[in-house]
Amino acid sequence: MPLLVHPPTNVFQVLQVQYGTKNSSVKTAEGRAIRVSGKSASITLNASVASTAKIFGVVTVGREDPTAAEKMREAIVLEVLQRKLSFFEQNIVRKIFERPPSKRARRHKPSNRSQAEVYLEGRRLNDTQAAAVNRIMSASPDDQVCLVHGPPGTGKTTVIAASVIELMNLPKKNRGIWLVAQSNVAVKNIAEKLARVDFLDFKVLVSKDFHFEWHEHLYEQIEHNVIRSDEFSEDIVGTERLLLGSKVVLCTLSMLSAPRVITAGFTRLVPVETVIVDEASQIELGDYLPLLGRFSHSLEKLVFIGDDKQLAPFGQDDLGELSSIFEMQHLRQDAIFLDTQYRMPIPIGEFISRHVYGNNLKTSHDEMDRRSCILIDVSHGKETKSSNSWTNDAEATAIVVVARKFHAEGKTYRVITPYDAQRNVLERKLKAANLPWENKCFNVDSFQGENQTVLLGRQVDTSSLR
């Protein structure tokens, strides 16, 4: 990590660098990052550091500088307050935030195509999946904004993929479809689903900071569909060459909210007409301000897919109660509930249905053995503070033992943990053990839709695996 000595500027976040030489005590200097490229960063410091000094640690203090999406959100709020933007007078905004004076719940009964069967790769979707696709396809004004409640393993990405294919088969020209989510991993999973069903006419927009030297391996299956942010063109002609005629674009909500996506011409070439939001339960309502403030004039369809019984809106741990779209009761009462899960073995599925989904979630799975969920007691495990996170070396070692067994048996698996520091430890240990480590370890909040055997490092003296 090169150190450039300059006086730090006034920013939201500062870095505390601990350094020293062989003959001196450990000192601390403050600074900030001025340039980041992949895993390398240049930082400024408020002190001169000898070239022979050893860096013992770098700790971040305070919040990060606002992102481009956050700046746009602030700009829209200011426009609303200054009455330059008639935000709440817009029809689609009112459908989200205002309860209709009288509206009867019509669960599982979308208008128009209510009885139409839906197929994907020759397989007939179940009744609730088909109902969700038909609601998404509906041109009724009542269905302009709709909600799909999908517990884990119920086929949310199947619904999205089927909807995209059905929409693209309609005769309308110059249709624009945007598939967005809170996390890049969820966006990647949707892209891989589209590729698996042989729909390849799409592009994925991803930030260079996320992709370069960090997560390239996530995109190996769809690398020809990826457009990285440092490849964005400055004019619409260059953007047209990048899109190659694709009218389906995938990205995070933050990316869609970034001004560069607009200035580069992506939203002009692919109009923001149909937007399908995955992970909707993880998105705080205010995060939709850039989308609604800038594109409500073109939005014809807005679909929210998620499950509020899983992860809460991002940032709730820091800010307390945050509302997601699932707190809008007039939308929730009309939500399509995907009622059959295919991922979890029967004992786990029945437990989840009984305790979380009011016995409304059915299970379709071949595995009935109660040993489909095994707990391993790592009684000697000890949590260790790592910056603002935690690690547990004993649990990581136990995970490696089980991973080695699964790898030898040719099984696929993923490892999930609540803590980012533990994820780093797990990756290092798997790599040191000559086991596959790329695209294997995830934080709980970034592990989306993976139909795999799971090793769960809970860091409370137990690890569980299926």
pLDDT at 276: 98
pTM for the whole structure: 0.77
Between 115-119, 228-232, 293-297, 462-466, the lowest mean confidence (pLDDT) is in 462-466
CATH code for the part of the protein at 373-465: 3.40.50.300
Share of the chain above pLDDT 70, in %: 84
Strand, coil or helix: what is 18? strand
Between helices 156-168 and 184-196, what is the axis angle to 10°? 60
Residue of 209, 203, 257, 256 whose CA lies nearest to 230:
209
Whether 343 shows a pLDDT value over 60: the answer reads yes
Q: How far apart are CA 456 and CA 453, in angstroms?
A: 10
Strand, coil or helix: what is 46? coil
pLDDT in tens, 277-328: 999 999 999 899 999 999 988 999 999 999 998 876 655 555 556 789 999 9
Query: What CATH superfamily is the domain 68-338?
Result: P-loop containing nucleotide triphosphate hydrolases (3.40.50.300)
pLDDT in tens, 42-75: 778 887 877 778 877 777 777 777 778 888 888 8
- For the chain, the domains span 3-61, 68-338, 373-465
Q: How far apart are CA 243 and CA 115, in angstroms?
A: 35
68-338 with 373-465: one CATH topology? yes
pLDDT at 32: 78
Q: What is the mean pLDDT of residues 325-332?
A: 92
Residue of 334, 376, 373 whose CA lies nearest to 352:
373
Residue 27 burial (10 A CB sphere; 0-12, 13-18, 19+): middle
pLDDT at 12: 60
Mean pLDDT for the chain? Answer: 83
Q: What is the identity of the amino acid at 65?
A: D
